[in-house]
């Protein structure tokens, strides 16, 4: 079986054919064996040679002991009240505080759930224009980093434990001699910063040391290739009928993606067949979720994007564009897109990606200007962050100075350049020439090791601060807990250098805003509340801003403030140059969750399946099926086998990486994922994956030609969940075209098999008198981002199991996102995502097979799982057609690390070994709302109960509610003709149902 055999087979199929993985598509005997085993290989075998006799002995003993264990006495528990109970605390009930997470210089606005001083879960801030109640994966997982026992705990000077006092007295001593030269030997290296109070401190520092230089390095959010764009774009996807992306992953990359997904999905969640959908065209080299959600997608090399953008500009009628190049399929694509854009003047938008050079951004802006989109669907503003924008150039300049020996004191704030700096700069050896090196970071990492001073950084949930969201909104950051490991905020370190180090972070931040209130700061702020009223006193402003989490008058999206003006765009005069325009193209992309490896010690993120490939616990190189075919490396794994290892050479450097054939990747491109191979991370992250920074050079931070691939003939095991819990081709996703759905709405129902009637069952139909909970998941809105999974992990105390357990299909996630591809493996015509939690079947197959009644139906239709009754027969899991039950084969929950105890949700049991578990519809939230409603003597309001996955979803794809309430949102959704149940032909009557995907293809592209 090879690629052409598969293509022949696909051509012979009728209707739409979906496949989850290339292995499923290839349907090899080894894969079939893997699939048809009751449990995956080695999942159930005894590895030690126990005979029948020993088995009986053990069984007898365990039975007897199980009986005895029932009459043990409970261990003694302590009750520890407060000495003086804080205001507003009701023991047993959480409080919510508004705060924000800074990432890449932007803020992700949050509401933090606090159980008697312990932050346990983060939600989006529903009032904040950058969140509207949703968050991204990184924010959800950041609460685990807060409690990470491997975070740095002590100030170190040359490896010796020191105090903060000794650091604050040593800092002026180091800076003192520099004053005579105006600070010529002082360098500051930070990540992108938008925090007004921190910028103010940095301004003060740079004013005291006018010769000092400020550098920026963030390999993910602060790295540009071919110059930084002159203006920052702010999109309004809710107003756009036609969206064209040029290598832009707007639906997942960066904190703006949450609001962008909200806006984009609002145009996909149709209510009736007649509703208009938006249309998304994606032109990109890497298979991203934005491309997966596109109605039309063109896979091209990253270096060809400029040519296509130029061709598109010419086609929409711009003159004077140089370097246009689109031929064959691309030319046809460009022509169709241009026609669509011209038909939607003022209601379309062209988006250029952060990894593309400034020239591409300039063309996108010129097209938007010409079509009248600027001001309607996109606003161009001056950059939000004040730090140097071109991180690569900035770092290169710093390294040059360090090599020349002209740097005396280097202050590194938060960045880890020893691990992440471009390979050609040789940052580590240059760093050796700096006389005093000071590092502030969450971890004692690769950079901390090379520095004289290391100061543990306070997590954002531990310190005061401020940050601006992507739309300019100022958010205040307030601590939810005192620093667990004696961490210090960046503002404290800079303030110490400024000689005001004795103050608390709150005083420093508040002092800035007190001055801002009376107009004494460099930036002039207009501080109004949401109704546009000025605050009478600074105290009222402060309390109001803390309560809301943001200052409404600073938002450009909410319409109360105008984005800072930026000069008009100009067309580029020439195409951007790449070092090499031939050969295999190498593309660098951050891992979507670990980024550059900074989140490597976060087990939730390591185990979260990456979009599309579902790889966990590793970083790989993505290639297309055609590229793999050309190099004669296996396109699919044999059964559950290994991935081929290939040597990737670029500019005389090489790295050996496992390659993964990812449908949708452009041909002759190798996409290298950053973030693996951390050398000094912690017990979770050290040594996971491969370090690929050895290939990344300062002139090609995102892509370049001239790479070389060599198969090594060796293999490497990757734990991917792609083939776990397969549905074996039983039409789990239903996809229709908008036109078809408009003509015959019944088409969705016709896609499935016949559904038995409830009365046909042997069991009597049950009447629900009270509530009847149910869920609807809109596949047309879902972008496949996976935030729901990590939100579920955080809410329900779900354990991390590790790479080898994932390999045995033992991941514990209650919710999985299945990805289905359609069409040719090299260039799939469609990619569809389906979140699958427990379907809470009415006729649940799991319930009838449980010998101890550990899973049974509640009077509100929930399929309850009772952990304390479960004896671990796993019959339920075996009988579940959806494969949504998870079994604790070992003691996966960490009961032994005290730091992690504080993170757990006190309202959910922590499961032990030998117990089955599954999605509960967040029954703890249902019970809380029910009790509150009952004591307030009112019915539960629709939308009052939000499951963790629903609450976090940036696409609003998941809706939970009462099926007995005819006015509820969920009932209205289920009444749509797009509604269908997963495998409902089995008669399980799932109460979670799906709304079919409706694509909106351009007829001109056939």
Q: How far is the CB of 942 from other proteins (least distance, A)?
A: 19
Q: How far is the CB of 989 from other proteins (least distance, A)?
A: 19
Chain centroid to Cα 32, Å, comes to 33
Q: How far is the CB of 259 from other proteins (least distance, A)?
A: 33
Q: How far apart are CA 61 and CA 28, in angstroms?
A: 44
Of 866 and 900, which CB lies nearer to other proteins in the complex structure?
A: 866
Q: How far apart are CA 850 and CA 562, in angstroms?
A: 62
Of 72 and 537, which CB lies nearer to other proteins in the complex structure?
A: 72
Q: How far is the CB of 950 from other proteins (least distance, A)?
A: 18
Q: How far is the CB of 310 from other proteins (least distance, A)?
A: 58
Q: How many CB atoms lie within 10 A of CB 679?
A: 14
Burial of 530: CB neighbours in 10 Å, binned 0-12, 13-18, 19+? middle
Q: Are 10 and 824 in contact (CB under 8 A)?
A: yes
**Binding positions for other proteins, rule: CB under 8 A:** 67-68, 70-74, 76-85, 90-93, 769-770, 856-860, 862, 864, 866-868, 907-909, 920, 923-924, 927, 931, 934-935, 937
Q: How far apart are CA 607 and CA 800, in angstroms?
A: 7
Of 284 and 907, which CB lies nearer to other proteins in the complex structure?
A: 907
Of 335 and 910, which CB lies nearer to other proteins in the complex structure?
A: 910
Of 48 and 937, which CB lies nearer to other proteins in the complex structure?
A: 937
Q: How far is the CB of 75 from other proteins (least distance, A)?
A: 9
Q: How far is the CB of 792 from other proteins (least distance, A)?
A: 14
Q: Are 905 and 948 in contact (CB under 8 A)?
A: no
Q: How far is the CB of 930 from other proteins (least distance, A)?
A: 8
Of 105 and 837, which CB lies nearer to other proteins in the complex structure?
A: 837
* Helix, strand, or coil (residue 453): strand
Q: How far is the CB of 934 from other proteins (least distance, A)?
A: 6
Q: How far is the CB of 349 from other proteins (least distance, A)?
A: 45
Of 15 and 92, which CB lies nearer to other proteins in the complex structure?
A: 92
Of 181 and 912, which CB lies nearer to other proteins in the complex structure?
A: 912
Q: How many CB atoms lie within 10 A of CB 649?
A: 17
Q: Are 707 and 627 in contact (CB under 8 A)?
A: no
Q: Between helices 538-548 and 505-517, what is the axis angle to 10°?
A: 120
Chain centroid to Cα 690, Å, comes to 20
What b/e sequence results for 75-106 when a residue is b if at least 16 CB atoms lie within 10 Å of its CB, and e otherwise?
A: eeeeeeeeeeeeeeeeeeebeebbbbbbbbbb
Q: How far is the CB of 861 from other proteins (least distance, A)?
A: 10
Q: Which residues contact 328 (CB under 8 A, 6 or more apart)?
A: none
Q: How far is the CB of 855 from other proteins (least distance, A)?
A: 8
Residue 532: closest CA among 510, 557, 554, 564: 554
Q: How far apart are CA 997 and CA 976, in angstroms?
A: 12
Of 207 and 901, which CB lies nearer to other proteins in the complex structure?
A: 901
The dihedral through the CA atoms of 63, 65, 69, 70 has a sign that is positive
Which tokens is 572 given?
Answer: 């580029």
Of 95 and 170, which CB lies nearer to other proteins in the complex structure?
A: 95
Of 27 and 847, which CB lies nearer to other proteins in the complex structure?
A: 847
Q: How far is the CB of 771 from other proteins (least distance, A)?
A: 9
Of 38 and 937, which CB lies nearer to other proteins in the complex structure?
A: 937
Of 818 and 860, which CB lies nearer to other proteins in the complex structure?
A: 860
- The Cα diameter of the chain in Å comes to 91
Residue 677: closest CA among 668, 665, 689: 689
Q: Are 442 and 461 in contact (CB under 8 A)?
A: no
Q: How far apart are CA 693 and CA 657, in angstroms?
A: 12
The 8 Å CB, 24+ separation contacts for 509-514 are 509/197, 509/464, 509/465, 509/466, 509/476, 510/464, 510/542, 511/197, 512/196, 512/197, 512/200, 512/466, 513/197, 513/466, 513/538, 513/541, 513/542, 513/545, 514/538
Burial of 403: CB neighbours in 10 Å, binned 0-12, 13-18, 19+? middle
């Amino acid at each position: 079986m090879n690629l052409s055999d598969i293509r022949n087979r696909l051509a012979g199929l009728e209707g739409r054919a979906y496949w989850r993985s290339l292995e499923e598509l290839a349907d090899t005997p080894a894969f079939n064996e893997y699939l048809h085993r009751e449990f995956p290989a080695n999942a159930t075998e005894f590895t030690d040679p126990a005979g029948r006799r020993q088995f009986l002995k053990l069984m007898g003993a365990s039975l007897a002991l199980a009986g005895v264990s029932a009459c043990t006495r409970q261990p003694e528990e302590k009750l520890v009240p407060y000495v003086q109970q804080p205001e507003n605390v009701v023991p047993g009930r959480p409080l919510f505080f508004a705060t924000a997470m800074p990432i890449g210089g932007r803020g992700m606005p949050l509401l933090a759930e606090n159980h008697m001083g312990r932050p346990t879960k983060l939600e989006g801030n529903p009032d904040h224009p950058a969140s509207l109640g949703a968050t991204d994966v990184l924010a959800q997982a950041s609460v685990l980093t807060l409690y990470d026992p491997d975070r740095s705990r002590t100030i170190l000077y040359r490896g010796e434990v020191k105090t903060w006092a000794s650091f604050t007295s040593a800092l002026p001593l180091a800076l003192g001699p520099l004053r005579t030269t105006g600070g010529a030997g002082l360098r500051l290296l930070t990540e992108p910063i938008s925090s007004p109070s921190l910028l103010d401190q940095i301004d003060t520092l740079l004013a005291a040391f006018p010769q000092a230089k400020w550098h920026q390095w963030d390999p993910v959010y602060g790295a540009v290739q071919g110059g930084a764009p002159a203006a920052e774009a702010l999109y309004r996807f809710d107003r756009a009928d036609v969206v064209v992306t040029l290598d832009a992953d707007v639906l997942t990359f960066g904190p703006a993606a949450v609001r962008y997904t909200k806006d984009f999905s609002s145009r996909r969640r149709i209510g009736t067949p007649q509703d208009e959908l938006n249309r998304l065209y994606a032109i990109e080299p890497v298979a991203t979720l934005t491309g997966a959600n596109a109605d039309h997608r063109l896979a091209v090399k990253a270096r060809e994007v400029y040519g296509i953008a130029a061709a598109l500009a010419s086609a929409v009628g711009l003159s004077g564009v140089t370097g246009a190049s689109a031929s064959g399929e691309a030319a046809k694509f460009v022509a169709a897109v241009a026609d669509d854009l011209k038909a939607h003047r003022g209601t379309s938008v062209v988006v250029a990606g952060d990894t593309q050079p400034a020239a591409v951004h300039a063309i996108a802006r010129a097209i938007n200007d010409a079509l009248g989109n600027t001001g309607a669907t996109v606003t161009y503003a001056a950059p939000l962050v004040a730090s140097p924008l071109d991180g690569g150039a900035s770092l290169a300049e710093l390294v040059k100075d360090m090599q020349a020996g002209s740097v005396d004191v280097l202050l590194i704030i938060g960045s880890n350049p020893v691990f992440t700096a471009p390979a050609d700069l040789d940052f580590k050896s240059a760093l050796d020439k700096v006389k005093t090196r000071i590092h502030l970071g969450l971890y004692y990492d690769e950079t901390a090791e090379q520095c004289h001073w290391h100061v543990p950084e306070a997590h954002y949930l531990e310190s005061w601060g401020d940050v601006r969201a992507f739309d300019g909104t100022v958010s205040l950051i307030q601590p939810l807990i005192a620093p667990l490991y004696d961490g210090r905020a960046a503002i404290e370190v800079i303030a110490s250098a400024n000689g005001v180090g004795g103050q608390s972070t709150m005083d420093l931040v508040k002092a800035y805003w007190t001055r801002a209130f009376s107009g004494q700061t460099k930036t002039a702020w207009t501080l109004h509340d949401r109704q546009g009223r000025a605050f009478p006193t600074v105290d009222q402003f402060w309390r109001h801003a803390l309560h809301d989490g943001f200052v409404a008058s600073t938002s450009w999206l909410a319409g109360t403030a105008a984005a800072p003006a930026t000069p008009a765009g100009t067309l580029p005069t020439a195409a951007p140059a790449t070092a090499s325009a031939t050969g295999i193209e190498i593309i660098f992309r951050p891992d979507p969750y670990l980024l550059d490896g900074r989140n490597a010690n976060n087990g939730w993120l390591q185990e979260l399946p990456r979009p599309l490939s579902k790889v966990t616990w590793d970083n790989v190189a993505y290639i297309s099926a055609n590229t793999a075919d050309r190099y004669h490396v296996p396109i699919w794994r044999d059964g559950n086998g290994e991935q081929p290892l290939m040597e990737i050479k670029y500019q005389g450097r090489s790295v050996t990486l496992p390659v993964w054939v990812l449908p949708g990747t452009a041909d002759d491109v190798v996409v290298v994922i950053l973030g693996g191979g951390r050398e000094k991370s912690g017990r979770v992250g050290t040594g996971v994956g491969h370090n690929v920074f050895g290939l990344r050079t300062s002139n090609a931070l995102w892509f370049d030609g001239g790479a070389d691939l060599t198969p090594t003939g060796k293999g490497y095991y990757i734990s991917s969940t792609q083939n776990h819990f397969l549905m074996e081709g039983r039409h789990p996703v239903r996809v229709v075209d908008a036109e078809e759905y408009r003509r015959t709405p019944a088409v969705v129902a016709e896609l499935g098999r016949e559904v038995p009637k409830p009365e046909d069952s042997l069991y009597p139909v049950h009447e629900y008198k009270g509530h009847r909970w149910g869920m609807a998941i809109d596949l047309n809105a879902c972008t496949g981002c996976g935030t729901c999974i990590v939100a579920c992990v955080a809410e329900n105390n779900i354990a991390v199991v590790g790479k080898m357990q994932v390999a045995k299909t033992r991941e514990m996630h209650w919710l999985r996102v299945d990805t289905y591809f359609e069409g040719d493996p090299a260039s799939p015509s469609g990619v569809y995502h389906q979140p699958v939690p427990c379907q809470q079947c009415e006729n649940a197959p799991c319930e009838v097979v449980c010998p101890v009644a550990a899973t049974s139906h509640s009077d509100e239709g929930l399929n309850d799982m009772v952990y304390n009754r479960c004896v671990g027969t796993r019959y339920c899991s075996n009988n579940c057609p959806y494969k949504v039950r998870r079994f604790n084969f070992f003691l996966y929950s960490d009961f032994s690390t005290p730091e992690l105890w504080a993170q757990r949700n006190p309202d959910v049991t922590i499961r032990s070994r030998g117990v089955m578990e599954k999605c509960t519809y967040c029954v703890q939230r249902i019970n809380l709302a029910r009790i509150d409603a009952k004591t307030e003597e009112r019915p539960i309001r629709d939308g009052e109960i939000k499951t963790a996955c629903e609450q976090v979803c940036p696409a609003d794809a998941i809706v939970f509610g009462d099926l007995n309430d005819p006015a509820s949102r969920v009932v209205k959704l289920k009444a749509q003709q797009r509604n269908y149940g997963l495998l409902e032909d089995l008669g399980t009557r799932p109460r979670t149902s799906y709304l079919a995907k409706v694509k909106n293809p351009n007829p001109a592209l056939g």
